[in-house]
Homo-oligomer: A and B are copies of this chain.
Amino acid sequence: MTSNFAIAIVGATGSVGETLLQILEERDFPISDLHLLASNESAGRTLAYRGRNLRVRAVDGFDFRTVQLVFFAADPSVTLAHADAVRKAGCSLIDVTGALPSDVAPRVVPEVNGALISGEAPFAVTSPSSVAVAVSLVLGALREHVQVRRLVIDAGLAVSSRGREGVSELARQTAELLNGRSVEPRLFDRQMAFNVLAQVDEPDAEGHGRLERRVNADIKALFADEALNVAVSCHQVPVFFGDSLSVTVQASTPVELGKVIAALDAAAGIELVDAGDYPTVIGDAVGQDEVYVGRVRRGIDDPCELSLWIVSDNVRKGAALNAVQLAELLIKHHL
């Protein structure tokens, strides 16, 4: 029944790109032809797929008419540089970089607003920021029980949100400090080891970072609710992999905790951890498809308040897996 598809991955050598490749293989995605693309510097490397070594080619000059679907997992600027050519080639695209506006490439998490994907190919879809994917999955599962009026998201991001350089920089700084040497920060603007950085990118004139704006817009788009009030603070924590999210919801009516817990327990893609215990990125979320939720509780002062702790693999469910799930949805609609 299923036909096979010619696919390209732009940014194949990055951590999201490599995880994409791995998940396509794991989920047995029907591929006839696979093109791995990257910047000129990374071209020439090889990556393994189903036991074969595939050579990475430069994205510049690639003919998008030879594929039906492209994943963009490099820099937002790379998405922007090629989106027009992709469209003109009649090729569908899934962007994990958030470079395109919502009216061009709507933000979709299959479990939350997958119904948004309709019509005919070519499709253009955005996989939202990892923070928005995790939070919307959880709040989406509660839609029948909790009408969210206001949301405060405090996100502790792992250094892998800065790619492989982030991971090696935290390791280097930690080793230097443990050996009693002083640290000269490179990738981050401060000492990252044993420290929490207040922001993950350059704030704009109003003081909000690019990712904070993106999470805010993602969540409102995913719930198609422009009136929703979403406060977002993103911090960089000395953790290698995974997002650690503290979420406080103000609902319009008192929260019925029993129903909330039952709904989370029943939801696909969510692993609920019992009261008293709690999940962490290490040992729970990292390497897993599920988003983990714990510390589900009502406010001390306000029965309409709900607090949650969410951990998620930022590279996997937060980006690569959601993108592949989007591709699976596109297939259903005759990509």
Contact = CB atoms under 8 A, between A and B. Distances in A.
Interface of A: 150, 152, 154, 156, 170-171, 174-175, 178, 190-191, 194-199, 202-203, 206-208, 212-213, 216, 228-233, 235, 237-240, 244, 246, 248, 250, 275-276, 278-283, 294-302, 305, 307, 309, 311
A194 B302 CA distance: 34
Given A194-B239, A194-B282, 5 more contacts: A190-B283, A195-B239, A207-B307, A208-B300, A229-B305
B305 A231 contact: yes
Nearest to A154: B154
Nearest to A249: B231
Nearest to A212: B300
A298 B206 contact: yes
Contact of A231 (B178, B295, B307): B307
Contact of A294 (B174, B195, B198, B309): B198
Contact of A152 (B152, B197, B213, B228): B152
One complex includes copies of this chain to the number of 2
A300 B244 contact: no
Do most interface residues of chain A lie in helix, strand or loop, or is the interface mixed? mixed
B199 A295 contact: yes
A180 to B, nearest CB: 12
Contact of A300 (B231, B276, B279, B295): B231
Contacts of A235: 156, 244, 246
Given A238-B194, A283-B190, A276 B233 contact: no
Nearest to A159: B194
Contact of A280 (B170, B196, B239, B275): B196
A305 B225 CA distance: 19
A301 B228 contact: yes
Contacts of A208: 297, 300
Contact of A198 (B191, B196, B203, B309): B309
A233 B156 contact: no
Given A208-B297, A231-B299, A233-B248, A281 B195 contact: yes
